[in-house]
């Protein structure tokens, strides 16, 4: 067990290193010069940049050094979780990230909770409802949820519930009311995917002989499903859920922009627009670390759900 | 002894009709079945697959699958008609008044729940014990009563940590937890070894005798029915065609279908297969083969299992060797070694003077045409996207044999399939027809040896009898040699002239079928023969004319 976790963490470090290296290379290859963006400020002309000032700034940021030197320095500092200072604001990257992390965690937690509760509920309802048309209505609804892009969902939700009915505020972060619409918009595609995968494996599990044994004991259909089939059907859904957690940062970029919420998503959008290399790299690192840790956590939960699964370090 | 017939029946099924809705329309599964079970009585419901016997059991429980037409007829338990009762009322009957022992013990327990909790669930659903702790304690008692050693420890196990026989005991504990008056057992032992089967059926007989529980025993096995049931009801095509005391029905069947069924059942008294010519030269010589599996345990550490442990035998040209043993005895591993799908860790396998364990890969591929397999699962052995003709032609194509269409037609004829079968897909065939296709494919390259691993175990007795006849005829016609692996001693007797008994990887006894079956020397062989349902009695009857 301990050996397994250590091996997996080792693999995770490799994944992080690879992600950082790729992001470093990509940022060096993409067109656009951070120094001219910074000197230009907002809306400035490219020709208005003073070459001397640009060189000075480039030296200050260490961008005049050879690429391999920059890379080694970057990796060495990243290993100590030091990502330097933001090109655009001059603040320490760690502090910038720290400020944005809170609202995004809030949003992500709310969205994942919604995904889990509504996804499982839709799967169970789509399998157990007494009338076939009701079952297919639930499952079709999940397909729609899955197919609609989340920026559109966000806009529709804003139109209906903030501007139309005025139930929830349209933007901002802090209280619970402000969380509802963005969390729902972020969760909707996940709810659909989770419900579809879970309902399919649930239907397979319900055909297994142990479900008949449970019913022969006198268990109701609902009990046979929730107490027996659901746990057996959970593994594919858990794998999917782990992948969703990793993807939540990507989803937050769109959702936070639509709802004008501060957070990692907005930060990502701004950092990319402003060629703010240190912030982008730190975000890549954070997303990678999140991905590695969540998937490790999911793998560690597997044997608790299904005792036949044995963890084995590859 | 006559008491059960005097008192009103515990279970009375009258004119039961069950139909399943399919895409092709409604298909009747049970077309008017009637039977009774008295308290303390065991009634066997016998029939082949598709006869509707399992549907009767499920209809009594009210557990027919979704997509079943409403049941007609009546199912009376102590005079109360269960047909048409609301689901809520039926839930009170299931587990409390009727216990159910299913067919496949390993799959019938929830794999992710400890078995103790699965027994306790019955008590909790029906409110038979107050509180979790009391239910858990009673569950452990029930596991003990079901004959499980160390019930306190077994209760904490998961199903995959138990053997098939132990799982079936857990399921019996579940079925009896609510002290039901009626037990329905659907093929309770068909997935288990004969010795385990005997213990479990003894246990069920004991329970019904002591508690006065009625037992409806659904089985395909006539010998089990005769030995265990007071009365037998024979089902064919959705109808009960004959019913009466077991000895009468099986001993002197009046309905033609029952007669056919009885005739098809392999017996330990039938004359054994004809031996190979005494001067036949050896085709296959197996010397001291050994196969060891090393597996890593979840707790860490390794487990070493010797699946085949120094087995030796010689098979003459045209000879037929039966390999018998219970699950885990190493018979299937031996088959894999003979087919050289697996490599032994030690020993030699010499076919026609060539040692298969040391030939280079290219040469081995060419030698494969001489040794061909037939497996138990004909469904899994055929690619469903191939037509029958394509499946049979595949080995011919692999070896570049010309004139394939002609050869396929000959082979279909050889296994007594109509030429039109060539265009069909495996899913459109019955189990017996599919196994014929597998045999035709195995014969395509005119092999000298067939390795048959439980080739008829998945088939109904009448189909099984026809396949066994075919195998016997093919052996004569083509001069084939067989290594025939089976858990069923009666089947081996019909096809083989020599037998090898395996236990825990070792060959404990081998010799001519007639000698080993009439005078087994090793205690394990004796135990195996004694456990065959109806075995000892039939043998003793044969001994004294």
Range from A175-184, B308-317, B434-443, B479-488 carrying the lowest mean pLDDT: A175-184
- Domains detected in chain B: 3-264 (3.40.50.300), 282-382+447-543 (3.40.50.300)
User: Which helix (H) or strand (E) segment is B354 a member of?
Assistant: strand B354-355
Contact B40/A at CB under 8 A: no
For residue A312, list chain B residues with Cβ-Cβ distance below 8 A: 296
In a mutagenesis test of the B interface, which of A127, A132, A208, A217 is the best target, namely the one with the most B β-carbons within 10 Å? A217
Alpha-helical runs (H) found in B444-534: 461-478, 489-495, 513-518, 523-531
Q: How far apart are the first and last CA of chain B?
A: 30
Interface contact A217-B298, CB threshold 8 A: no
Q: Which two tokens stand for residue B61?
A: 């429980």
Question: Which residue of B lies nearest to A225 if distances are taken between CA atoms?
Answer: B110
Nearest CB among A215, A232, A312 relative to B112 is that of A232
Interface contact B112-A307, CB threshold 8 A: yes
Q: How far apart are CA B361 and CA A40, in angstroms?
A: 71
Q: How many CB atoms lie within 10 A of CB B504?
A: 15
* CA A301 and chain centroid, separation: 20
Q: How far apart are the first and last CA of chain A?
A: 13
pLDDT of residue A276: 81
Interface contact A307-B158, CB threshold 8 A: yes
List pLDDT tens digits, range A38-97: 676 555 555 566 777 778 877 877 777 788 888 888 888 888 888 787 877 778 888 888
* CA B347 and chain centroid, separation: 32
CB contact at 8 A, A253 and A268: yes
For residue B93, list chain A residues with Cβ-Cβ distance below 8 A: 218
Task: List the beta bridge partners of residue B12.
Answer: B36, B76
Task: List the beta bridge partners of residue B450.
Answer: B372, B482
CATH superfamily of A97-305: MetI-like (1.10.3720.10)
Q: Place B17 in a pLDDT band, splitting at 50, 70 and 90.
A: very high
CB contact at 8 A, B306 and B468: no
Task: List the beta bridge partners of residue B309.
Answer: B290
Cα distances (Å, whole numbers) of residue B119 to B151, B184, B203, B210, B214? 12, 17, 18, 21, 21
Interface contact B296-A219, CB threshold 8 A: no
Contact B354/A at CB under 8 A: no
List pLDDT tens digits, range A182-239: 888 888 888 889 999 999 999 999 989 999 999 999 999 999 999 999 999 998 898 8
Q: Which two tokens stand for residue A59?
A: 């030296």
Q: How many CB atoms lie within 10 A of CB B301?
A: 7
Residue scoring higher pLDDT (B341 or B6): B341
Interface contact A219-B63, CB threshold 8 A: no
Residue B4 has pLDDT above 70, yes or no: no
List pLDDT tens digits, range A146-186: 888 877 888 888 878 877 787 777 666 667 777 888 888 88
Residue scoring higher pLDDT (B262 or B5): B262
pLDDT of residue B521: 93
Cα distances (Å, whole numbers) of residue B232 to A51, B25, B76, B264, B266? 103, 32, 19, 17, 19
In a mutagenesis test of the B interface, which of A4, A208, A210, A223 is the best target, namely the one with the most B β-carbons within 10 Å? A210
Question: Which residue of A lies nearest to B122 if distances are taken between CA atoms?
Answer: A217
For residue A219, list chain B residues with Cβ-Cβ distance below 8 A: 91, 95, 121, 125
Question: Which residue of B lies nearest to A311 if distances are taken between CA atoms?
Answer: B298
For residue A308, list chain B residues with Cβ-Cβ distance below 8 A: 111-112, 158, 160
Nearest CB among A208, A215, A312 relative to B94 is that of A215
Nearest CB among B102, B125, B298 relative to A219 is that of B125
Contact B100/A at CB under 8 A: yes
pLDDT of residue B3: 46
φ, ψ for residue B281, nearest 5 deg: -80, 155
List pLDDT tens digits, range B280-312: 788 999 999 999 988 766 566 677 888 999 999
Task: List the beta bridge partners of residue B303.
Answer: B295
On the 0-12 / 13-18 / 19+ scale of CB atoms within 10 A, B278 is: exposed
Contact B124/A at CB under 8 A: no
On the 0-12 / 13-18 / 19+ scale of CB atoms within 10 A, B163 is: middle
Q: How far is A110 from chain B (nearest CA, A)?
A: 30
Parse chain A into domains and list their residue ranges. 2-79, 97-305
Q: How far apart are CA A105 and CA B135, in angstroms?
A: 43
Q: How far apart are CA A311 and CA B101, in angstroms?
A: 34
pLDDT of residue A286: 86
Residue B543 has pLDDT above 60, yes or no: no
Q: What is the DSSP letter of A162?
A: I
Please give the mean pLDDT across all residues of chain B: 88
Residue B82 has pLDDT above 70, yes or no: yes
pLDDT of residue B123: 94
Q: How far is A238 from chain B (nearest CA, A)?
A: 15
- Taking alpha carbons only, the member of B171, B67, B124 closest to residue A223 is B124
Residue B427 has pLDDT above 90, yes or no: no
CB contact at 8 A, B58 and B45: no
Q: How far is A16 from chain B (nearest CA, A)?
A: 29
Residue B206 has pLDDT above 70, yes or no: yes
pLDDT of residue B538: 38
Residue B540 has pLDDT above 70, yes or no: no
Q: At what angle do helices A150-157 and A230-258 cross, to 10 degrees?
A: 70
Q: How far is A262 from chain B (nearest CA, A)?
A: 43
Check the CA dihedral B380-B383-B389-B392 and report its sign: negative
| β-pair type (B214-219, B231-236) | unpaired
Q: Which of residues 212-241 of A touch B (CB under 8 A)?
A: 212-221, 223, 227-228, 231-232
Cα distances (Å, whole numbers) of residue B100 to B41, B54, B55, B203, B340? 16, 12, 13, 15, 43
Nearest CB among A209, A218, A305 relative to B96 is that of A218
Q: How far apart are CA A229 and CA A240, in angstroms?
A: 18
Nearest CB among A217, A231, A306 relative to B125 is that of A217
Q: Of the ranges A294-308, B107-121, B153-167, which is most confident?
A: B107-121
CB contact at 8 A, B464 and B300: no
Q: Which two tokens stand for residue A208?
A: 């297994």
In a mutagenesis test of the B interface, which of A202, A206, A213 is the best target, namely the one with the most B β-carbons within 10 Å? A213
Q: Which of residues 152-181 of A touch B (CB under 8 A)?
A: none
pLDDT of residue B541: 35
Burial call B366-389: b when 16+ CB within 10 Å, e when fewer: eebbbbbbbbbebeebbeeeebbb
List pLDDT tens digits, range A107-157: 888 899 999 999 999 999 988 887 888 888 888 888 888 888 877 888 888
In a mutagenesis test of the A interface, which of B96, B110, B298 is the best target, namely the one with the most A β-carbons within 10 Å? B110
Residue B534, classed as helix, strand or coil, is coil
Interface contact A218-B113, CB threshold 8 A: no
Contact A33/B at CB under 8 A: no
pLDDT of residue A312: 72
Q: How far is A307 from chain B (nearest CA, A)?
A: 6
Percent helix, strand, coil in chain A (nearest 5)? 80, 0, 20
CB contact at 8 A, A123 and A195: yes
- Taking alpha carbons only, the member of B324, B326, B290 closest to residue B307 is B290
Question: Which residue of A lies nearest to B66 if distances are taken between CA atoms?
Answer: A207
Q: How far is B266 from chain A (nearest CA, A)?
A: 30
CB contact at 8 A, A19 and A25: no
Nearest CB among A213, A215, A308 relative to B160 is that of A308
Contact B131/A at CB under 8 A: no
Residue scoring higher pLDDT (B110 or A244): B110
CB contact at 8 A, A308 and B113: no
Q: How far apart are CA B535 and CA B29, in angstroms?
A: 33
Q: How far apart are CA B53 and CA B217, in angstroms?
A: 10
For residue B87, list chain A residues with Cβ-Cβ distance below 8 A: 220-221
ipTM, two decimals: 0.79
Question: Which residue of A lies nearest to B62 if distances are taken between CA atoms?
Answer: A216
Contact B302/A at CB under 8 A: no
Q: How far apart are CA A247 and CA A112, in angstroms?
A: 11
Q: How far is A177 from chain B (nearest CA, A)?
A: 40
Q: How far is B240 from chain A (nearest CA, A)?
A: 24
Task: List the beta bridge partners of residue B46.
Answer: B219, B234
On the 0-12 / 13-18 / 19+ scale of CB atoms within 10 A, B67 is: exposed
Q: In chain A, pLDDT over 70 holds for what percent of residues?
A: 93
φ, ψ for residue B288, nearest 5 deg: 50, 45
Q: How far apart are CA A47 and CA A62, in angstroms?
A: 23
Contact B92/A at CB under 8 A: yes
CB contact at 8 A, B290 and B344: yes
Q: How many CB atoms lie within 10 A of CB B326?
A: 19
Q: Which two tokens stand for residue B287?
A: 């010397």
Q: In chain A, pLDDT over 90 holds for what percent of residues?
A: 16
Q: In chain B, pLDDT over 90 holds for what percent of residues?
A: 53
Please give the mean pLDDT across all residues of chain A: 83
Q: How far is A205 from chain B (nearest CA, A)?
A: 10
Q: Which two tokens stand for residue B1?
A: 């002894």
Range from A35-44, A251-260, B28-37, B71-80 carrying the lowest mean pLDDT: A35-44
Q: How far apart are CA B159 and CA A213, in angstroms?
A: 14
Cα distances (Å, whole numbers) of residue B61 to A3, A216, B300? 50, 7, 45
Q: What is the DSSP letter of A226?
A: I
pLDDT of residue B537: 38
Q: Which of residues 410-469 of B touch A (CB under 8 A)?
A: none
Q: Place B99 in a pLDDT band, splitting at 50, 70 and 90.
A: very high
Q: Place B395 in a pLDDT band, splitting at 50, 70 and 90.
A: very high
CB contact at 8 A, B340 and B349: yes
Check the CA dihedral B153-B154-B155-B161 and report its sign: positive
Q: Which two tokens stand for residue A83?
A: 């990502």
The average pLDDT across B195-209 equals 88
Residue A111, classed as helix, strand or coil, is helix
On the 0-12 / 13-18 / 19+ scale of CB atoms within 10 A, B118 is: buried
Residue B437 has pLDDT above 90, yes or no: yes
Q: How far apart are CA A236 and CA B224, in angstroms?
A: 42
The average pLDDT across B150-164 equals 89
Q: Place A100 in a pLDDT band, splitting at 50, 70 and 90.
A: confident
Question: Which residue of A lies nearest to B114 if distances are taken between CA atoms?
Answer: A307
What DSSP string runs through B81-109? E-TT--HHHHHHHBTTTEEEE-S-TTTTS
Q: Which two tokens stand for residue A8?
A: 């997996």
- Tokens 């499952």, located at residue: A139
Q: Place A302 in a pLDDT band, splitting at 50, 70 and 90.
A: confident
Q: How far is A207 from chain B (nearest CA, A)?
A: 9
């Amino acid at each position: 067990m301990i050996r397994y976790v250590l091996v997996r963490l080792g693999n995770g470090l490799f994944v992080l290193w690879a992600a950082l290296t790729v992001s470093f290379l990509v940022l060096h290859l993409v067109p656009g010069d951070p120094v001219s963006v910074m000197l230009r400020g907002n809306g400035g002309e490219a020709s208005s940049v003073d070459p001397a000032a640009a060189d000075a700034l480039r030296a200050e940021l260490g961008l005049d050094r050879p690429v391999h030197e920059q890379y080694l320095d970057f990796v060495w500092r990243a290993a100590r979780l030091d990502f330097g200072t933001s090109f655009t604001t001059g603040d320490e990257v760690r502090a910038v990230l720290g400020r944005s992390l809170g609202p995004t965690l809030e949003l992500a937690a709310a969205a994942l909770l919604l995904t889990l509760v509504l996804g499982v509920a839709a799967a169970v309802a789509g399998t157990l409802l007494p009338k076939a048309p009701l079952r297919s209505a639930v499952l079709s609804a999940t397909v729609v949820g899955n197919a609609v892009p989340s920026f559109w969902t966000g806009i529709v939700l804003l139109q209906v519930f903030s501007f139309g009915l005025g139930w929830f505020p349209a933007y901002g972060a802090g209280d619970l009311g402000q969380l509802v619409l963005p969390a729902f918009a972020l969760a909707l595609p996940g709810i659909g995917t989770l419900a579809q995968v879970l309902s399919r494996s649930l239907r397979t599990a319900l055909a297994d002989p142990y479900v008949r044994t449970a019913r022969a004991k006198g268990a109701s259909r609902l009990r046979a499903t929730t107490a027996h089939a659901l746990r057996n059907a959970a593994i594919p859904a858990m794998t999917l859920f782990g992948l969703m957690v990793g993807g939540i940062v990507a989803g937050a970029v769109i959702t936070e922009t639509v709802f004008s919420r501060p957070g990692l998503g907005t930060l990502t959008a701004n950092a990319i627009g402003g060629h703010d290399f240190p912030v982008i790299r730190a975000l890549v690192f954070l997303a990678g670390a999140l991905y590695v840790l969540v998937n490790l956590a999911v793998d560690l939960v597997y044997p608790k759900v299904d005792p036949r699964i044995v963890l084995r370090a590859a | 002894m006559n008491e059960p017939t005097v008192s009103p029946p515990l279970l009375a099924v009258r004119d039961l009709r069950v139909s399943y809705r399919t895409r092709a329309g409604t298909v009747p599964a049970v077309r008017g079945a009637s039977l009774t079970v008295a308290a303390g009585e065991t009634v066997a419901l016998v029939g082949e697959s598709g006869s509707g016997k399992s549907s009767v059991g499920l209809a009594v429980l009210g557990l027919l699958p979704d997509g079943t037409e409403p049941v007609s007829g009546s199912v009376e338990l102590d005079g109360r008609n269960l047909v048409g009762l609301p689901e809520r009322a039926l839930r009170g009957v299931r587990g409390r008044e009727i216990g159910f022992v299913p067919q496949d013990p390993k799959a019938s327990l929830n794999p992710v729940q400890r078995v103790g909790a699965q027994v306790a669930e019955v008590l909790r659903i029906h409110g038979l014990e107050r509180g979790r702790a009391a239910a858990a304690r009673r569950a452990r008692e029930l596991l003990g009563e079901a004959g499980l050693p160390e019930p306190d420890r077994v209760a904490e196990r998961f199903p995959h940590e138990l053997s098939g026989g132990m799982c079936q005991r857990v399921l019996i504990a579940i079925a009896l937890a609510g002290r039901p008056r009626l037990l329905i057992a659907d093929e309770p032992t068909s997935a288990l070894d004969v010795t385990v089967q005997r213990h479990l059926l003894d246990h069920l007989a004991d329970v019904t005798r002591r508690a006065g529980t009625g037992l409806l025993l659904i089985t395909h096995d006539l010998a089990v029915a005769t030995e265990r049931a007071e009365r037998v009801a024979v089902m064919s095509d959705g109808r009960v065609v004959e019913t009466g005391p077991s000895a009468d029905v099986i001993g002197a069947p009046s309905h033609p279908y029952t007669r056919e069924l009885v005739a098809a059942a392999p017996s330990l008294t039938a004359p054994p297969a004809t031996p190979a010519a005494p001067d036949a030269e050896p085709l296959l010589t197996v010397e001291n083969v050994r196969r060891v599996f090393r597996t890593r345990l979840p707790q860490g550490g390794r487990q070493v299992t010797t699946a085949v442990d120094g087995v030796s035998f010689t098979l003459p040209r045209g000879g037929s060797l039966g390999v018998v043993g219970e699950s885990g005895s190493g018979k299937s591993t031996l088959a894999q070694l003979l087919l050289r799908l697996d490599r032994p860790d030690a020993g030699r396998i010499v076919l026609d003077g060539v040692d298969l364990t040391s030939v280079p890969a290219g040469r081995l591929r060419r030698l494969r045409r001489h040794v061909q397999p037939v497996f138990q699962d004909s469904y899994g052995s055929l690619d469903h996207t191939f037509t029958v003709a394509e499946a049979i032609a595949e080995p011919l194509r692999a070896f570049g044999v010309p004139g394939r269409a002609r050869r396929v037609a000959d082979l279909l004829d050889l296994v007594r399939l109509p030429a039109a079968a060539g265009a069909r897909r495996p899913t459109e065939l019955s189990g017996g027809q599919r196994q014929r296709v597998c045999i035709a494919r195995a014969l395509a390259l005119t092999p000298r040896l067939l390795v048959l691993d439980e080739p008829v175990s998945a088939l109904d007795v009448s189909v099984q009898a026809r396949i066994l006849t075919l195998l016997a005829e093919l052996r004569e016609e083509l001069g084939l040699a067989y290594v025939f692996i089976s858990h069923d001693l009666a089947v081996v007797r019909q096809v083989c002239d020599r037998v090898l008994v395996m236990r825990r990887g070792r060959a404990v006894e081998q010799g001519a079928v007639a000698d080993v079956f009439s005078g087994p020397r090793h205690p394990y062989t004796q135990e195996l023969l004694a456990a065959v349902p109806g075995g000892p009695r039939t043998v003793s009857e044969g001994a004294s004319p």
